[in-house]
Amino acid sequence: MPELLFRVQGNNNRPVEVTIKKNGKNLTSTCTCSSGVDDICQHRINILSGSDKEIISNNADEIKKISSWIAGTDVGKAMHDMIESLKMLENAKDDFNNARKRLIKALKD
């Protein structure tokens, strides 16, 4: 079973380890940070998204393998859905801010 381990700069300058394992169509990931125990942490999201910006281990070039591992897995679908939802949230925030500005302007007329 292929496995990748990345050391990542964590909070308070304490490194954490992100592990990604591929077993057929199954992909799992863990992180040693406190958020990574019961939740999805930003360390894993960054790596699963292909970002190597916080990787401090000497294998940052292996981040390229992750996208091929994710393809066709439930993790890939969930990542896609999360990214699309985040885009919709950002658009909704922009729409809200624009509507708020229009209301403020209308109240000053």
pLDDT above 90 covers what percent of the chain? 61
44 has a pLDDT exceeding 80: yes
Q: Which of 39, 55, 46, 31 is nearest to 83 (CA)?
A: 46
Confidence of residue 10 (pLDDT cuts 50, 70, 90): confident
Q: What phi, psi does 96 have (nearest 5°)?
A: -60, -45
Check: pTM over 0.85? Answer yes or no: no
